[in-house]
Structure 1
Amino acid sequence: MHILTDVSAPAPHPQGLDATLEGGWRLRIRAMDETLLRIVVEPAEGLPLDRSWMIAPQGDVSWEGRHRDDLAGFAPPATAIATQDAATILTAGAFRVTLRPAPFRLAVEQKVGGEWRPWIEDRATGGFALAERGQRIRHFHQRPESDRHFGLGDKSGPLDRTGRRFRVLQLDALGYDAEIGDPMYKHVPYLAVQSGGVTGGLFYDSLAPMTFDLGCERSNYHGIYRYVEIEERGLDLWLIAGPDLAAVTQRFTRLTGLPALQPRWSFGFAFTTMHHADDPEAQAVIEAFAARCRAEKIPISAIHLGSGYSSRGQRRYVFTWNRAKFPDPQALFAKLGELGFPSVANLKPVLIDDHPDYAEVRAAGGFVKDGAGAPVVEQFWDGMGSYLDFTNPETVRWWQARFRKQVLDPGFDAGWNDNNEYEIGREDAMATGFGRPFPAPAARPLHALLMTRATYEATRAHRPDRRPFTITRAGPAGLQRYAETWSGDNSTSWHTLKWNLRNGLSLALSGQSKVGHDIGGFTGPRPSPEYLCRSVEMMALHPRAVMNSWKPDVAHGAAAATTPWLHPEVLPEIRAALDLRTTFLPLIYSLAHAASAEGVPIIRPLFYDFPDDPGAYADQDAMMLGPDVLFSPVVTEGAREKTQYLPAGPAGWIEFATGLHHPAGTLVTVAAPLGRPPVFIRAGAVLALAAATPDVKPHDAPARRLYLAMAGASGTGTGRHVEDDGVSFAYRDGGLLDLGFALAWSPSGADLRITRRAGRLAMPAASDWRLDGPQGAPHGVRIAVED
């Protein structure tokens, strides 16, 4: 490994500075915005890819990608350069960077409260090193022992990544260990680093495989350090200013693209299983399941179909129909529509080698190719096949045409992009690159992103007046622009249930907060009655709640599926947990609006909202739903109570189920019977909740229940609620209702002021609201509506 030691001739640039490194390498530092700084270390020929698909400050990029040096969407600040001894100091916006030679290294400070404070610093023995004759690059930082590290997408284990080594590489990680397994499904080379009381973000804009070592490796010669290794020549690093985690998270999300606001029905409880669509009588099985949901009064919003509609034997043929199992798809969709169920189709990015369209796609050059120009044939999960090359416009056109004809036209409402990790093993594999080919293994996440985009845009074109809904299992930073995601093929175990909670919170801190986990566990044994109930409970307040299973060893055919009524003895408790979801869906949807507009995560760890409380950083089985709701699901077998730390700061916390008031900054132990996971409301909060819990279209239950979290003799509080038609884009030009709530109470009574923040939808009258609170319906509340 060769450490870059020499740096010479630092020269001013209108946006920063340029410097020459040894061996023809060079350094470029660019101030992109007041809170964004870009550091490029590149060989003489430039970075391997001169385009980015993850950086999207204007919301999206062209299919061909965005040139890395494009300034559109940024407002570069003024810069200043000074010298001190042998160091060069660049000041730009919220950053001050000190460049030192011999060896080449950087130190970065952030401006906090008008003062410069140290944040990160490269290793004193050299910050950058070339490995394998310059085919890989490592970036080394000094690592104070007190540093904390968050992010990296769907990684396992505690949210603080310190002491771990992670591989950023998409894999189909069936049955992963949610505590220690790695790598997993996403490619999010982003860290939020807390150091010395200052938080900032580091985003390495590369699609190549990477390693993040956050404290595993030690060397007596280099002190305590961390490093990032990128498996290509050069790095493009974005620094994101804080000074706190909330600011960094929002700025990173904006940098990579704000989340799509998906239709309201996609936030309801949904169901899928491979066993139904794989059954020889699949259509009859699915119709019977849908009818039973209504008979059992399960509050379900949608049904997702596994890929069995396209299977013959064990092999899947995307964009085909097995008419033996599905003799009349139109009748199926008519039945689902009659029962009020949107439907979602599972899609695969591989054509098995005997797929009826294989020759056509091959002739169009639509597959990832080897060095000789022939399709790369790889092991897929049901046979040998070839991956579609979504950097070829012909492939995109073919995909969208087939998706419309075979999926949307028959009656599906949406597409589910699955098995799209692109595990390409051939080192000579090439992607078309929109006319500028590049090695496919170095950009696997890009295909997952573009596959999802192709599905999203085709769905929108099919019904331009409706918001598209789509899902993806894999992809890089930026996938939130098109889709929701989930933690992949989890296992049925209490261990997984506990650690999945953190997997999802890590995704939320990484820009992807419309997330959930397969209810009941995807693979492994049948869930026990208690486990199934607790799994439903945990997803009750997550943005995505889908029951999904594949358990071929537990029974034959459709009987192997995990269903809501699998264990009748806990069905009342499961219904109660799903009713809790319906109750809070208006809040989840309002938070989705904020995520789409501002980049604020829907769910987050406690320390996101309470960064100054040391107790909030302890590893715990809990999360925040927005700023006012603390959710503490039970993840321990046999437990019927839960001990939870309630962060300091609010006037107190109110237990939603009982109305009991608990002091802030304390540990409390509360009852947690099956069907009633602990939920705590910040004292003073005003929440708009569902006024009823219907089992048909529960996502459309009107939000006309106002929960006033009044505690103590007097106090004040606020709240916000956003609603729209749930399906169209009208909210973008005022077709919504954005309400603000202001509450004050004292021994003489309570006053609630409801004001219009934005939107043109009709304002509810004071009498439209049903008031609720810790002790039931509060008395003497004076309501003033200001339109």
Structure 2
Amino acid sequence: MATFTERMALVSVLWLALCLSGSWAVDKSNFKTCDQSSFCKRQRALKPGESPYRVLLETMELTNTRLTLQLINDNNKVRLLLELYRLQGNITRVKINELKPLKPRYEVPDVLVREPPTEPLSVLSQDENGVVLSLGAESQRVIISARPFRLDIMEGHDVLMSLNSRGLLAFEHLRMRKDTFSYKVTSTVASVWDNIKRVFSSQAEPEAENKEGADSANQAEAGKEEEEKVEEGMWEETFKSHSDSKPNGPCAISLDFSLPGVEHVYGIPEHAEPLKLKTTDNGDPYRLYNLDVFQYELYNPMALYGAVPVMLAHNTKRTTGIFWLNAAETWVDISSNTAGKTVFGKMLDYVQGSSETPQTDVRWISESGIIDVFLMLGPTPKDVFSQYASLTGTQAFPPLSSLAYHQCRWNYNDQEDVRSVDAGFDEHDIPYDFIWLDIEHTDGKRYFTWDPHKFATPKEMLQGLQEKKRKMVAIVDPHIKVDNNYKIHNEIRSRGFYIKNKDGGDYEGWCWPGSAGYPDFTRADMRAWWASMFAYDQYEGTMENLYTWNDMNEPSVFNGPEVTMHKDAVHGSWEHRDVHNLYGLYVQMATAEGLIQRSGGVERPFVLTRAFFAGSQRYGAVWTGDNAAEWDHLKISIPMCLSLGLVGISFCGADVGGFFKSPSSELLVRWYQTGAYQPFFRAHAHLDTPRREPWLFGPENAALIREAVRQRYTFLPYWYQLFYQAYRTGEPVMRPLWVEYPQDPATFAVDDEFLIGRDLLVHPVTDEGSRGVTAYLPGKDEFWFDIHTFHKHNGAQNLYIPVTMSSIPVFQRGGSIIPRKLRVRRSSTCMEHDPYTLFVALNARRTAEGELYIDDGHTFNYEKKEFIHRRFSFANNVLSSVNLMPDAHFTTMSWIERVIVLGATKPSKITLKTADGEESQLEFEFDPSMSVLTIRKPGMNAGEDWNITFK
């Protein structure tokens, strides 16, 4: 019989499930506002003005690559150490920490891919007002002003960025509580030291109170004045029924950044917000704190499942970025001197000769840790992507099949249900690559297990999928059922791998299994053990076509504060408050490593995660969490994924159809049409929603969904090449228009359409009952070709597009060549050797170019240069294929079965010349009404050199 505690845990879980299945919106009272977060409230109460910090110029030390200076707070005499580095690639790093903290402060590990390489620094000038340093690139300099402290980065006569220009630097030093024994002893030492100093004052050196041996006394002394006015929440605080003890006291940090000339800033995901970030003067700041927020509210700066503390700033002249490397709860305030001004108001300023330069000011506030900020100075958007990638790595190169369509729900009931759904896709001629299993597939929510009745023979199920060249994903969450008969729990407990509570015992909370423990993924030995559990002899019933999904890894704790872990839980030497936003990254890291290890390092993993941080792109895909079957949720999926792409996470998608509630047939169709053109393409639904496999909404809607999914499959070669590019360069796959058109202000706030790479523009239909959409086609001298009709449209215009239910407005840029596979089969693997069709869209200069990347689609052999990477070019009436990597080696059975040239003129003849020198004349068709030229079955191998001449 279950114990009372077990019954209460079950009641709690069932109650939550009931809440989830209802029509309730998010209960915002479960989550803090800035005013309810004591450190945010304290820091935000500081108003712009003269900073209490000044630079002690006599402490300056300069090596070839590192500048250090001490800052002193004139209010409390606490000193800070500022370090400045010039990094390779036009990045400046600024670190600020206490000079002599009572104990070490947390510095984020494992996010940077390496210690960033540095470049030389040199002093240009120095006087009593400050120091000027050369950054050695394009006349860039750093000006450090002494009274008060301020740091400006300049290029020529332009200020690119200023730090502490508003005087909002704040650094709550570690101290001892005044009513503790240790504080009283240290205070006594401080008094004795004061007397000694008075006696020997004539012999004392200047600033002797900061010399070695007096540090602890001075920390107590420095805090005396502040400790007399202890504010609520400094040493402990309560939110609802939860109390947060703070044995280290207040330790928040804050710094402001000013961005002259900037009106548009982006990034800091994850929020259900437009692409362009709004000002926060009249509301809460944006919050970065990984939380399980079911049925999240749109257009709200509340925290969601992931947190990437990276912001991009853009104007017509430059793109820059700020990377705030801190894993604690963080709030970001944004102010602008142009906020609220209408277009007319801005024009009036211009007519009246207003000299006010637009400016955006950003303040970062974190609960603990140090200030460690990377200033990425561009100057172009792609430079910033490269700079950030050099710090945190690039998007993991996924298996080709993971870019295809995924079918999921909570939950497919049993093996027969899986078989039936799989057969349904074949019956209705809809391709898919992955079918997913949620938590109900396990034996009583015990991960790494299978329900012995519903999934009694998982290998048989997986083998059946493999025979069709399909795959499965099963969920493995990081909350572990506390059960003495559960091997995983016993192993973690015996090895001491659970996170501890503040009293030293194993931390326990409630999640789907009831009472659960939480493995300490911040430990490398714990991650190594977790990875070993994915071995085929450990995770019984698994095969190479089973992949993994990490959910609930914020971590989600149903009975915890804000549905997450208590901040005073302990990870070794650190509190959970220090590491919170890293937890999900570590879970995905360990899981991905497990999938790699099980194959002996041969196979690329696929791991989806809900929680993420900077650097998560190295380990797989993310999705936007538990959305709802509402039109506004469909719309917001676009800017949410665009924001993630800007900060390195290209492999993003939203639950097609909406997780909660039930979509109308129109909404479902439109969501499939949108999802087919987003990087991660998965349908998913809540346990209590009606089934919604694509054929359940009638034959007409099934046909529309089939067409959307098939379009995705035809473009898989293009998606794959773009993900290879993202892996190599850090450039986003799905990107805002301004990334490719950085000097066109009309693109800066567009987030209802997007580019895939640089050559496909997509404007999904996201309004109910829509009969038309207006798409902005950028580029003054550009052409854009409708991929369905081949109609040509000029750029730099707003184009009204009438739509029906079958419409997916997609345009190919003139000047591009996109390879597609038009023979769609039941899975991407079945299409491996199928031929390509080249779509050549000519620009005004009658030129075009594109790329094709081919490898085996699933192993790491591309690292051994086992791939094909070719460039297609059309110029001077010659279409050619050249090898971009002559030292790479791979062969393909695929050939070119068709070439379609858009914007063509009719030639008199077309001649093919292959690598062996053979020439042949090709047959063609020409449509003069559309200027479309089609060459059928030219027959060239896709991996060889050739050229086609048009005469």
| TM-score for both structures, normalised by structure 1 | 0.89
Is it true that 1:479 corresponds to 2:611 in the alignment? no
Give the secondary-structure state (helix, strand or coil) at the position aligned to 2:286: strand
Tell me if the contact between 1:134 and 1:233 (Cα under 8 Å) persists in the aligned partners. Answer: no
Distance of aligned partners of 1:784 and 1:716 in 2 relative to their CA distance in 1, 3 Å threshold: farther
Tell me if the contact between 2:56 and 2:69 (Cα under 8 Å) persists in the aligned partners. Answer: yes
How far did residue 430 of structure 1 move?
0.8
Is it true that 1:248 corresponds to 2:384 in the alignment? yes
* 1:91 partner letter: S
Deviations 1:640-664 (A, max 9, x none): 3221010024431111111111111
How far, CA to CA, are the matches of 1:504 and 1:703 in structure 2?
31
Number of residue-to-residue matches in the alignment:
742
Tell me if the contact between 2:411 and 2:441 (Cα under 8 Å) persists in the aligned partners. Answer: no
Is it true that 1:16 corresponds to 2:66 in the alignment? yes
How far, CA to CA, are the matches of 1:680 and 1:156 in structure 2?
27
Tell me if the contact between 1:378 and 1:385 (Cα under 8 Å) persists in the aligned partners. Answer: yes
Which of 156, 162, 169 pairs up with 1:121? 162
Deviations 1:465-519 (A, max 9, x none): 2212211111211111111111111111100100111000000001000111111
How far, CA to CA, are the matches of 1:362 and 1:118 in structure 2?
55
Give the secondary-structure state (helix, strand or coil) at the position aligned to 1:715: coil
Which of 564, 567, 578 pairs up with 2:694? 564
Distance of aligned partners of 1:781 and 1:672 in 2 relative to their CA distance in 1, 3 Å threshold: farther
How far, CA to CA, are the matches of 1:372 and 1:218 in structure 2?
51
Q: Which runs of 5+ in 1 are unaligned?
A: 58-69, 555-559
Is it true that 1:100 corresponds to 2:145 in the alignment? yes
* 1:41 partner letter: I
Tell me if the contact between 1:294 and 1:695 (Cα under 8 Å) persists in the aligned partners. Answer: yes
Equivalent in the alignment of 1:421: 554
Distance of aligned partners of 1:329 and 1:425 in 2 relative to their CA distance in 1, 3 Å threshold: closer
Which of 307, 312, 323 pairs up with 1:192? 312
Is it true that 1:468 corresponds to 2:605 in the alignment? yes
Equivalent in the alignment of 1:6: 54
How far, CA to CA, are the matches of 1:783 and 1:616 in structure 2?
41
Distance of aligned partners of 1:140 and 1:263 in 2 relative to their CA distance in 1, 3 Å threshold: same
How far, CA to CA, are the matches of 1:85 and 1:364 in structure 2?
58
Give the secondary-structure state (helix, strand or coil) at the position aligned to 1:173: coil
Give the secondary-structure state (helix, strand or coil) at the position aligned to 2:119: coil
Tell me if the contact between 2:648 and 2:730 (Cα under 8 Å) persists in the aligned partners. Answer: yes
Q: Quick one: percent identity of the two aligned structures? A: 25
Give the secondary-structure state (helix, strand or coil) at the position aligned to 1:594: helix
Equivalent in the alignment of 1:498: 635
How far, CA to CA, are the matches of 1:239 and 1:146 in structure 2?
15
Distance of aligned partners of 1:784 and 1:419 in 2 relative to their CA distance in 1, 3 Å threshold: farther
How far did residue 11 of structure 1 move?
2.8
Which of 108, 125, 134 pairs up with 1:82? 125
Give the secondary-structure state (helix, strand or coil) at the position aligned to 1:385: strand
Is it true that 1:755 corresponds to 2:882 in the alignment? yes
Write out aligned runs for 1:73-472 (5 A): 74-83=117-126, 86-94=129-137, 95-109=140-154, 111=155, 115=156, 117-131=158-172, 135-142=251-258, 144=260, 146-164=262-280, 165-180=285-300, 182-194=302-314, 197-215=317-335, 225-276=361-412, 279=413, 282-312=414-444, 316-354=445-483, 356-357=486-487, 358-381=489-512, 383-404=514-535, 405=537, 407=539, 409-411=541-543, 413-423=546-556, 424-432=564-572, 437-463=573-599, 464-472=601-609
Is it true that 1:533 corresponds to 2:672 in the alignment? no
Deviations 1:610-653 (A, max 9, x none): 01111111334111001111011111111132210100244311
Tell me if the contact between 1:648 and 1:664 (Cα under 8 Å) persists in the aligned partners. Answer: yes
When structure 1 is superposed on structure 2, of 354-363 and 419-428 the one drifting more is 354-363
Give the secondary-structure state (helix, strand or coil) at the position aligned to 2:387: helix
Distance of aligned partners of 1:604 and 1:199 in 2 relative to their CA distance in 1, 3 Å threshold: same
Equivalent in the alignment of 1:557: none
When structure 1 is superposed on structure 2, of 125-134 and 383-392 the one drifting more is 125-134
How far did residue 414 of structure 1 move?
1.4
Write out aligned runs for 1:615-694 (5 A): 615-694=746-825
How far, CA to CA, are the matches of 1:760 and 1:199 in structure 2?
38
How far, CA to CA, are the matches of 1:85 and 1:752 in structure 2?
65
How far, CA to CA, are the matches of 1:593 and 1:489 in structure 2?
29
How far, CA to CA, are the matches of 1:593 and 1:293 in structure 2?
29
Tell me if the contact between 1:257 and 1:480 (Cα under 8 Å) persists in the aligned partners. Answer: yes
* 1:563 partner letter: E
Equivalent in the alignment of 1:27: 82
How far, CA to CA, are the matches of 1:522 and 1:367 in structure 2?
31
Deviations 1:159-216 (A, max 9, x none): 1113142111101122213432521111211111236833211111111111111129
Tell me if the contact between 2:265 and 2:311 (Cα under 8 Å) persists in the aligned partners. Answer: yes
Distance of aligned partners of 1:764 and 1:394 in 2 relative to their CA distance in 1, 3 Å threshold: closer
Give the secondary-structure state (helix, strand or coil) at the position aligned to 1:726: coil
Distance of aligned partners of 1:429 and 1:50 in 2 relative to their CA distance in 1, 3 Å threshold: same
Which of 543, 553, 557 pairs up with 2:679? 543
* 1:130 partner letter: F
How far did residue 118 of structure 1 move?
1.4
Give the secondary-structure state (helix, strand or coil) at the position aligned to 2:95: strand
Give the secondary-structure state (helix, strand or coil) at the position aligned to 1:508: helix
How far, CA to CA, are the matches of 1:781 and 1:210 in structure 2?
62
How far, CA to CA, are the matches of 1:775 and 1:407 in structure 2?
56
Tell me if the contact between 1:201 and 1:241 (Cα under 8 Å) persists in the aligned partners. Answer: yes
Tell me if the contact between 1:652 and 1:662 (Cα under 8 Å) persists in the aligned partners. Answer: yes
Structure 1 or 2, whichever has the larger Rg, is: 2
| TM-score for both structures, normalised by structure 2 | 0.74
Give the secondary-structure state (helix, strand or coil) at the position aligned to 1:28: strand
How far did residue 147 of structure 1 move?
2.7
Tell me if the contact between 2:107 and 2:369 (Cα under 8 Å) persists in the aligned partners. Answer: no
Equivalent in the alignment of 2:720: 589
How far, CA to CA, are the matches of 1:707 and 1:532 in structure 2?
30
Equivalent in the alignment of 1:515: 652
Distance of aligned partners of 1:701 and 1:38 in 2 relative to their CA distance in 1, 3 Å threshold: same
Tell me if the contact between 1:716 and 1:744 (Cα under 8 Å) persists in the aligned partners. Answer: yes
* 1:32 partner letter: L
* 2:458 partner letter: P
* 2:335 partner letter: G
How far did residue 410 of structure 1 move?
2.5
How far, CA to CA, are the matches of 1:196 and 1:536 in structure 2?
35
